[in-house]
Structure 1
Amino acid sequence: MTRNAVVVGGGIAGLAAAIGLHRIGWEVTVLERAVVLNDAGAGISVQANGLAALDGLGVGDQVRAVGQAQGSGGIRVPSGRWLAHMDAEGAARRLGSPVYSFRRADLHAALREALPPGCLVQGTAVDPTELHQLPADLVVAADGVHSPVRSFLFQDHPGAVYAGNTVWRGITASPVRVEADIDQTWGRGTEFGSTRLRDGRIEWHALIDAPEGERSGVPREIFGSWHDPIPTLLAATEPESVLRHDVYDLVVPLPSYVASASGRPVALIGDAAHAMTPHLGQGASLALEDALTLAAYLADAEGDGDGDAGGSVIAALRRFDADRRPRTQAMAVAARRTGRIGQQLHGRFAVALRNAAIRVTPPSVAVREIVKHAGWTPPALAVSRA
């Protein structure tokens, strides 16, 4: 019997989940409320664990073909003085892969191309109160940080809260020569980061502490006096292409990543389940882990052949929840902590202490931290031959 799933949300998490479900023989429909995915001005990085998940989903090579492997990099202060250089080769050796950077639009396109025609339906909003009416054996909520599905299913949960940061994201209009593939600069309550894309253009982000909803100031005013190439990158970016949004995370962890909507099983993945601050750069990679893990447990349940179709799905979701919640919720705490002891410091003494600590930290310690977060063994996916 062919199972049916409806995925709510057509971002990275939703598309990856649809790929995984399709590969195990499920019929999948992805419902995305946006008519057009407006993400052309943003970049994104995927770490080794996310790439391992993409390999498990069978699309790793296609995705890498539109990305750029990252090598040299490190952390600086606004004057340009280096605090630390990243041992990218050491981390890649330990993890089996370097970090890859992408235009979000390119990553989305690569994932969409891996799905059957007509699978993604855009311009369709889902009313969470009507989840039980969807023609599906499973609903996957991949509807983002402010997930309406999550709000409906967990009505006593406070939801995502403002993390104290607002971020601008942009991509230069043309290639720019830079010294490092990955360049991060920490100031006082501020951060500017950039990575090289496949076509030589540079994607960048500028993060500041600010009140929620604050829209005064522009990157050139705040970061224009920082070291090269930051002013060059800002000048090389069309102002109208720059995106800005406040940062939110789930400070109160969800009690479960699975729920029931009037008897319809629901699994939450990606930001809908574990929205976190960007300070570890793990958001997309963990969403990809979710997608592969969900498909793998559902495939295993199918193979158990206990004759109870609904029961096998519920059992798979329980295993998925037990697997994913500890890792992702711990990562969310680590991301929040990293921001508090890094970019979000304001006091002159605290910032000086932070900078001194970074300068004397051996590269091997940084590699160990990277491996702790990006080291992950993907489950095997039993692909349907039907």
Structure 2
Amino acid sequence: MTTSHAVVIGSGIGGLTAAVALYQRGWQVTVLERAVSLEPVGAGIALAPNAQRALDVIGLGDEIRSLAAWQGDGGMRTPDGRWVSRMSAEAARERFGGPIVMLHRATLVDRIASRLPEGVIRTGAPAAVAEPGVAGGRRAVVSTPDGDLEADLVVGADGINSAVRGVLFPSHPGPSYTGLTAWRVLIAAEDAPEQPFEPHETWGRGALWGTQPLKDGRIYAYAAAAAPVGDHAPDGEQAELLRRFGDWHDPIPAIIAAAAGGPVLRNDIHHMATPLPAFHRGRTALVGDAAHAMAPTLGQGGNQAIEDAIVLAHHAPPGGDLGAGLATYSAERLPRTSAIVRKAAQVARLQAVDSRPGVAIRTALMSAVSRLGPGVVLRTFDGIADWRPPQQPYASGTRDRART
């Protein structure tokens, strides 16, 4: 009897989750990572209940829930500090069956990778798909500097500029620029502002700022603004943040000042405005940004990658009908993720409003909606945060509810 072999290209959140899920289903798994270490790009990630339930399937959900930093309320503010809307953590938990968990990406990567046996992850190992294979026929072939690997299944988890995607769908236009660039900073606990504050997003003219506390005392902050693609500040990105956000409400100036002690990451935001025709070809499947890169405005990029991984493993049992399984994977994931990509793009356009009249109208509408109650605000995430995996075990939530 031969063991079914899966090769995962890329060791980001989606790739590692796929590797663990496939391994637990009985696959022999090899993860190939171009970088020399598992040091994810980025700072923080928000895991919504949908991703937590997906992680339940591989035994990680409760471990991640234990890292939730904030149990109170937060909301949206204007640059002068006025609250436009409030978000109730308890209402979100009641509606979707769990809290939002904000944590460092490195923490999440470490927790997922710890579920794999020694030697499965190979760093410093660039790889390319030489042959995507034929489901029910010839195996896929992955080229590496150390020679070719044959695989019964290849998972392309190589990010927004995916080379695997280019092999499977060479005529697809790929990701396009949203018009927004993003900054991310992580403030050490000893450098964090002393005064307590609630998690918030602050929306201004064509720009936003978000501040989120982590459980270990660090602060994750992010910002976005309209900017030409490829633009960078000649005097450094901290100086750029100071110019754009230095006169916004507390604790934003103090966080920018504290960012002097560490890197300020800046990345243009791209998304897959044109959906792929499928998320697989032959014996090769795509997960995460390689399949459906989206604007971060709904906080669902990493969450959807985790969902992808769990659904893919569910429909790809070792020795099963891989062709039918991958077709079902595409059929389930393509419509869902395409809808979320579109919704995230709509929110990005709303955030990018920069005329004074437009901002005033946006603020008034959000304030009016907030006064109708937390259920109306949370309805934005109906169909997203309430998703459940196609298999048990997972947390079922506090109660069944009828949407209002």
By the TM > 0.5 criterion, same fold?
yes
1:220/1:39 CA distance change after superposition, 3 Å: farther
User: Per-residue displacement from partner, 1:246-271 (whole Å, max 9, x unpaired)?
Assistant: 111000000000112xxxx0111111
1:61 is matched with: 62
Matched to 2:249, the amino acid is H
Identical-residue share of aligned pairs (%): 43
Q: Distance in 2 between matches of 1:185 and 1:178?
A: 18
Q: Contact 1:41–1:171 (CA<8 Å) still a contact in 2?
A: no
Larger displacement relative to structure 2 (34-43 or 265-274): 34-43
What is the TM-score when the length of structure 1 is the normalising length? 0.91
Q: 1:146 aligns with which of 138, 161, 167?
A: 161
Per the TM alignment, residue 61 of structure 1 is displaced from its structure 2 partner at its CA by 2.6
Q: 2 CA distance for matches of 1:40 and 1:61?
A: 25
Q: Is the 8 A contact 1:75 1:82 kept in 2?
A: yes
Q: Is the 8 A contact 1:16 1:292 kept in 2?
A: yes
Who is 1:166 aligned against?
A: 181
1:380 CA displacement: 1.2
Which has a greater percent of helix?
A: 1
Shift of 1:176: 3.5
1:317 to 320, 326, 334: 326
CA distance in 2, matches of 1:14, 1:41: 16
The Cα offsets for residues 154-183 of structure 1, whole Å up to 9 and x where unpaired, read as: 111000111111111011122444654421
**Distance of aligned partners of 1:272 and 1:40 in 2 relative to their CA distance in 1, 3 Å threshold:** closer
Partner of 1:210: 227
Q: Which of 238-247 and 64-73 deviates more? A: 64-73
Deviates more, 1:89-98 or 1:10-19: 89-98
Residue among 320, 339, 347 paired with 2:355? 347
1:249 to 247, 264, 271: 271
Aligned-residue offset at 1:65: 4.1
Q: Structure 1 residues 181, 139: closer, same or farther in 2, change over 3 A?
A: farther
Instruction: Give the letter aligned to residue 191 of structure 1.
Output: L
> Judging changes above 3 Å, is the alpha-carbon distance between structure 1 residues 49 and 181 closer, same or farther for their aligned structure 2 residues?
farther
User: Separation in 1 of the partners of 2:38 and 2:67?
Assistant: 18
Q: Say whether the 8 Å CA contact 1:277–1:336 is kept in structure 2.
A: yes
Greater mean deviation of Cα atoms: 369-378 or 60-69: 60-69
CA distance in 2, matches of 1:370, 1:105: 26
1:2–1:34 distance in 2 versus 1, CA, 3 Å: same
Deviating more after overlay: 207-216 vs 230-239:
230-239
Contact 1:70-1:181 within 8 A present in 2 as well? no
Which region of structure 1 is more displaced relative to structure 2, 128-137 or 311-320? 128-137
Cα distance in 2 for residues equivalent to 1:195 and 1:42: 11
Does structure 2 retain, via aligned residues, the 8 Å contact 1:70–1:101? no
CA distance in structure 1 between the partners assigned to 2:285 and 2:71 by the alignment: 33
8 Å CA contact 1:39–1:105 kept in 2: the answer is: yes
- With over 3 angstroms needed to count, the CA separation of the structure-2 counterparts of 1:11 and 1:295, relative to structure 1, is same
Equivalenced residue count is 368
**Residue 375 of structure 1 aligns with which residue?**
386
1:28 is aligned to 29
Alignment of 1:256-295 (within 5 A): 256-260=278-282, 265-295=283-313
Matching residue of 1:129:
130
Which is further off, 124-133 or 95-104?
124-133
Between the aligned partners of 1:40 and 1:72, the Cα distance in structure 2 is: 29
The answer on 1:298 being equivalent to 2:316 is yes
Residue 366 of structure 2 corresponds to residue 358 of structure 1: yes
- In 1, are the aligned partners of 2:97 and 2:386 still within 8 Å (CA)? no
> By how many angstroms is 1:59 displaced?
1.5
Q: Do 2:8 and 2:30's aligned partners in 1 also have CA atoms closer than 8 Å?
A: yes
Q: Is the 8 A contact 2:168 2:280 kept in 1?
A: no
Give yes or no for contact 2:67–2:101 (8 Å, CA) kept in 1: no
The CA deviation at 1:26 is: 0.5
Aligned-CA RMSD value: 1.8
Q: AA paired with 1:366?
A: V
Listed as ranges, the gaps of 5+ residues in structure 2 are 133-139, 142-148, 234-238, 394-404
Determine the C-alpha separation between the residues in 2 that align with 1:30 and 1:212. Answer: 32
Q: CA deviation at 1:238?
A: 3.5
Any conservation in 2 of the 1:193–1:206 contact (CA below 8 Å)? yes
Amino acid at match of 1:250: M
Q: In the TM superposition, what whole-angstrom CA distance separates every residue of 1:305-333 from its partner, at most 9, and x where no partner exists?
A: xxxx4x70111111111111111100000
Residue 198 of structure 1 aligns with an amino acid whose one-letter code is: K
Between 1:145-154 and 1:237-246, the stretch displaced more is: 237-246
Residue-by-residue CA offset, 1:307-362 (whole Å, 9 max, x unaligned)? xx4x7011111111111111110000000001112x11011111110000001002
Distance 1:70 1:123 in 2: 40
Counterpart of 1:228, as a letter, is: D
Letter of the structure 1 residue corresponding to residue 356 of structure 2 = R
Q: Which one of 308, 328, 344 corresponds to residue 337 of structure 2? A: 328
Q: Which residue of 2 aligns with 1:118?
A: 119
1:237 is paired with a residue of what secondary structure?
helix
Query: Distance between the aligned counterparts of 2:198 and 2:160, measured in 1?
Result: 29
> TM-score normalized by structure 2?
0.87
Measured in 2, the distance between the counterparts of 1:108 and 1:121 equals: 15
SS class of match (2:384): helix
The 5 A counterparts of 1:31-42 are 31-39=32-40, 42=43
Counterpart Cα distance in 2 of 1:255 and 1:365: 34
